[in-house]
Amino acid sequence: MKENIRQTVTKATFEVFEKMFFVFLEPVEDTPFKYDSVSYIDFVGRASGGLSLMMSRGLTAMMAENMLGCEPSEITEQMIEDCSKEAANMVCGNFLRKISEQDVFNLNLPQYAPMDQAAGKGLILSGPDDVVVHFESEDEHLQVRLAWKEAGEA
C-alpha cells in the first residue's frame, strides 16, 4: 500500500505543479537541502493524515509568478503564502481523489509558515511511516511529505 501511496502522491504533485503553476518537476533522491517555507493541510475520512510541502524560496516565487502572471518585482509575501497554501490544497485534493473517487474526505484549511516558525506551529511532519518524495525544478527544491493512517489503525 505504501508504494501505491508514493506513486499516487508523486503523480498528483506532478499534475498540480504542471497544470496550475507551469512548473515541471523532476523526482530526485533524498538530498540534504535547507527549505525556506512549508505549507500544510490535514484531512479526515476513510483515512486521516496530513500533507506538507517544504519548498525553496525560488520555487515559491516561480509558482506565484507563473500562476498569477506577475513579474518577479510584483510578487509579494502574501502572494507567495497564498500560492503555497493553494498548492498544498490542490495536491492533497488531487491525491485523495486518485486514491478513492467514491470516499469522502474533509480537508481543513491549509496553513503556511517560514521554516523557522513551522515547527512551533505544528506544520512539520516527521513520522517514521510518512511517505516522502523529493523534486527539483530549475535548481529549486520541493519535498512532499504525506502522513496516512487508515481508519481503525492504531
Q: The domain that contains 135 carries what CATH number? A: 3.40.1550.10
Q: Does 73 have pLDDT greater than 60?
A: yes
Q: How confident is the model at residue 14 (pLDDT cuts 50, 70, 90)?
A: very high
pTM (two decimals)? 0.94
Question: Nearest to residue 85, comparing CAs of 62, 63, 69?
Answer: 63
Q: What is the pLDDT of residue 11?
A: 98
Place of cell 525544478: 137
pLDDT band at 31 (very low <50, low <70, confident <90, very high): confident
For residue 73, which phi and psi values (nearest 5 degrees)?
-70, -15
Domain that holds residue 27: 2-150
Helices (H), 22-148: 57-68, 77-99, 115-118
pLDDT of residue 154: 57
Give the pLDDT band (50/70/90) at residue 134.
very high
Q: What is the mean pLDDT of residues 71-88?
A: 96
DSSP tally for the chain: helices H, then strands E: 4, 7
Give the pLDDT confidence of 136-151 residue by residue, as tens digits: 999 999 999 999 998 7
How many domains does the chain divide into?
1
